[in-house]
Amino acid sequence: MPTLPVNIGSYLVNLCSALLLLTCFAIVAQRRLMACVDLFALQSGFLAVTATLVAYLTGIHHIYLAAILTIAIKAIILPRILKKIVRQLNVQREVSMYVNIPTGLLICGGLVILAFFITQPIVHLGFLLTQDSLAIALAIVLIGFFIMVSRQKAVTQVIGFLVMENGLFLAATAAAYGMPLMVELGIFFDVLVAGLIVGIYTHQIQETFGSVDTSRMKALKE
Amino acid sequence: MPDENHVTLMVLAAPVVAATLSLFIKNIRTLHGLNVMTMVILVVADLVLWATVVREESFTALGNVVFIDSLSIFILSIVVGVGFSCSIYLWSYFDDEAIQQLVQPHRLWTFFPLYHVFLFAMIVATLANSLGVQWVAVEATTLATVFLITFFKSRESLEAGWKYLILCSVGIALALFGTVLTYYSSIRVLGEENAALNLTSLLPVAAQMDGHVLKLAFIFILVGYGTKIGLVPMHTWLPEAYSEAPAPVTAMLAGVLETVAVYVVLRSKSIVDQAVSPGFTGNLLILIGLVSFGTAALFILIQRDYKRLFAYSSIEHMGLAMLGFGIGGPLGTFGGLWHLLNHALAKSLGFFAVGNIFRRYRTRQIHEVQGMAKVQPITAIAFLAGGLALVGMPPFSLFNSELLVITSLAQMTFQFDSFHLGRFLTITVSHEIRSLGIIMIIVLFAVALFGGFIYRLTGMVWGTPPAGVRQGEAWHIGQLPLALSVLALVWMGFSLPTQVEALLQRATDVVIGR
């Protein structure tokens, strides 16, 4: 059972959530695809640590299971699949982006403020332990969304989606100490399948277009 | 009477068994046979469950995992009904493609397992008690359909599939945030328990839940599932995916998947409406419905591709249904639900016909298709009927449901309230907007739409057929779904069968929470 006082526990949870947010910014600022994948794996690691902390401090056991699955699927399996894709496709860097890096970072800063602003009226309903994590979680979701729309490479778009998923998982852990077990398992399953599908798909795109640059997809315009 | 637990289990197990078997069967005829047989089982099971709902109002099965009431049975009937006609159509469609050697037989070995998984996911989304499981199932439909959309593996279809995968995954992720927020407010009331996302536990206590959280949750849910429904401005994947996918898949996407996504939104609406004034969800739905309707009507005017024409018509009809649900009340909701059914029938009819046309003419350009009346007389009649139904002409039942929605709009008195998003962003809509103004706009768009649609359809049906296109069309089993859909639309246009009307009535009560 928990031996830490609640306020120290709360600090630790906040610290971990903040580290998650920090890795988001690092992904936004990173052009090298391999490094993006590594950063995503690191972020998933921080997420698992946050979940373990919450599980330890609250004594709710099924969050441990979620933490283990996070490590297994998001920190090990999916990064491996993504790295394999990057190696096969032989693209190392994102050369052109729709938004350049400094502007992107500024926009993400704005998104964090927006997230705190939106969640402000509802955080007081939350648990003391994880009160501030909900805003951070929404910020991560929004930044993931931004990564998806601002990058052109299929792999980085997928990383954006997975970052969004991490944000959602943090939200579920922070706001409600995790979703019901059945739902949680379903979500992990969906994420894993999505990763596999993307693996097959990028391969097909590469074969057909000779590039994974989605900006080359121009045939279907109004 | 059979036990409802067993029947429910059968509904869930049939597609799973079919998907597993399809992985191992290599004979094409057996694959088609298995598909049709699965659909027959589903239709029968659906009717048994329908009878149970008529008797018991609502029930849970398989230990609270499944919750079935009139609304879910109504949606399930659309799923299995359209699924059944699609399975018959699939048979003739792929036989034809195989004869023309455009589809290698072994490609069907990957088609059918995915198709059954897609069906299974939609059935789970319809029957699940938990909002979380509904989310998982809707996401699974996206994953299952990606490779169905890219089945022909052309450049364009890969592009459309990628756009579909990315946009729908993002949308669905936002919907998950909405679901998390719903859970956040429900455990305040219910405590931390596994059932706190179940409809059976949420509905009785919804009134005690925190209104602000639920408002925020509903916005995320509407945007998220709205992407799947294809509401403007989240619709950009839809015309591409619909025009690149094989016709039977498009029929399922347009007829069934959209309906299921609407169902999930309606479930959230009925919860949120209890905690906040119904004006909140209603106004959001009216706004997004009107925008979708108007935008789609304008885009229909400039289409040169007949598959895209029908795709935009889907956006337009979903907008209209959303308008009905937004207006709410017994009339608007009834109209909206009935419109879902009519649209599912008419749109699957439309895409079946479109599939026939494409297989003969091998082009999707409207101006290159002429003289259908001579080339494919049976398809031409079905195509014309589908087109007339989709622009809301009598005697087809879409006319009736559209009229219901517009009538409910006329009866509505606007009580807009303002809502706060954060501290200083407040959105208020004036009381002065009168419903008549909106009706004027809708009718104007409807006229534009009518013109755009009919002008193109008649151009395709009459005229001289281009050289090199084989003329004449024999009756075969693949025409049966077309005939049945036309028949059903006309029948409901004249008189709605009493059982269907009763089910619709009770489903309406479920949505408005009576």
CA distance, residue B371 to nearest chain A CA (Å): 27
Q: What are the residues whose beta carbons fall under 8 Å from the beta carbon of B185, sequence distance 6 or more?
A: A125, B209, B210, B213, B214, B217
The pLDDT value recorded for residue B428 is 54
By C-alpha distance, the chain B residue nearest A218 is B159
Containing B419, the helix (H) or strand (E) segment is strand B419-421
Domain presence at residue A219:
no
Q: Which residues pair with B61 in a beta bridge?
A: B66
By C-alpha distance, the chain B residue nearest A209 is B155
The pLDDT value recorded for residue B388 is 94
Q: What is the mean pLDDT of residues A111-118?
A: 93
User: Residue B194 is nearest to which of A180, A197, A214, comparing CB atoms?
Assistant: A180
Containing B66, the helix (H) or strand (E) segment is strand B66-68
Measure Cα distances from B122 to B82, B119, B137 in Å. Answer: 12, 5, 7
Length of chain A counted residue by residue: 222
* Probe site for chain B from A130, A179, A184, A209 (most B CB atoms < 10 A): A179
Span A20-29, pLDDT tens digits: 999 999 999 9
Q: Does the structure show a pLDDT above 70 at A212?
A: no
Dihedral in degrees, nearest 10, Cα atoms A21, A22, A28, A30: -150
Domain presence at residue A177:
yes
The pLDDT value recorded for residue B467 is 84
Q: Does the structure show a pLDDT above 50 at A222?
A: no
Domain presence at residue A158:
yes
User: Residue B143 is nearest to which of A165, A177, A194, comparing CB atoms?
Assistant: A194
Q: Which of residues 102-121 of A touch B (CB under 8 A)?
A: 117-118, 120-121
Q: Does the structure show a pLDDT above 90 at A123?
A: no
Helices B258-275 and B211-229 meet at what angle, rounded to 10?
Answer: 170
User: Residue B158 is nearest to which of A138, A194, A205, comparing CB atoms?
Assistant: A205
Furthest CA-CA distance within chain B: 71
How do strand B66-68 and strand B59-61 relate by DSSP bridges? antiparallel
Q: Is A164 close to B170, i.e. CB distance below 8 A?
A: yes
The pLDDT value recorded for residue B414 is 54
The pLDDT value recorded for residue A218 is 58
The pLDDT value recorded for residue B142 is 93
DSSP-derived secondary structure letter, B59: E
* Probe site for chain A from B176, B194, B200, B244 (most A CB atoms < 10 A): B176
Q: What is the mean pLDDT of residues A131-152?
A: 89
| Spatial separation of the C-alpha atoms in residues A44 and A143, rounded to whole Å | 15
The pLDDT value recorded for residue A179 is 82
**Mean pLDDT for chain A overall:** 85
The pLDDT value recorded for residue B87 is 93
Length of chain B counted residue by residue: 514
Here the ipTM equals 0.90
Q: What is the mean pLDDT of residues A123-140?
A: 81
Domain that includes residue A42, residue range: 6-214
Domain presence at residue A221:
no
By C-alpha distance, the chain B residue nearest A58 is B192
- How would residue A150 be classed by pLDDT, with cut points 50, 70 and 90? confident
Count A/B contacts: CB-CB distance under 8 Å.
134
Measure Cα distances from A50 to A46, A139, A170, A179 in Å. Answer: 6, 16, 8, 15
Burial of B36 (0-12, 13-18, 19+ CB in 10 A): middle
Q: What are the residues whose beta carbons fall under 8 Å from the beta carbon of B157, sequence distance 6 or more?
A: B149, B150, B151, B244, B245
Is residue A123 within 8 angstroms of chain B, CB to CB?
Answer: no
Q: Is A193 close to B143, i.e. CB distance below 8 A?
A: yes
Domain presence at residue A46:
yes
Q: What are the residues whose beta carbons fall under 8 Å from the beta carbon of B7, sequence distance 6 or more?
A: B45, B48, B49, B52
Q: Does the structure show a pLDDT above 80 at A4?
A: no
Q: Is B165 close to A148, i.e. CB distance below 8 A?
A: no
Domain presence at residue A102:
yes
Domain presence at residue A1:
no
The pLDDT value recorded for residue B311 is 94
> Which residues of chain A lie closer than 8 angstroms to B153, CB-CB?
204, 208
- The 10 Å Cβ neighbour count of residue B243 is 23
Burial of B514 (0-12, 13-18, 19+ CB in 10 A): exposed
Residues B375, B465 contacting (CB under 8 angstroms):
yes
User: Residue ranges of chain B with pLDDT lower than 70?
Assistant: 1-2, 192, 413-435
- How would residue A6 be classed by pLDDT, with cut points 50, 70 and 90? low
Task: Show the tokens assigned to B507.
Answer: 């489903």
Number of domains in chain A: 1
Q: Is A183 close to B197, i.e. CB distance below 8 A?
A: yes
Domain presence at residue A52:
yes
Q: What single string gives the DSSP state of each residue in B420-477?
A: EETTTEEE---TT--HHHHHHHHHHHHHHHHHHHHHHHHHHHSSPPPTTPPP-----G
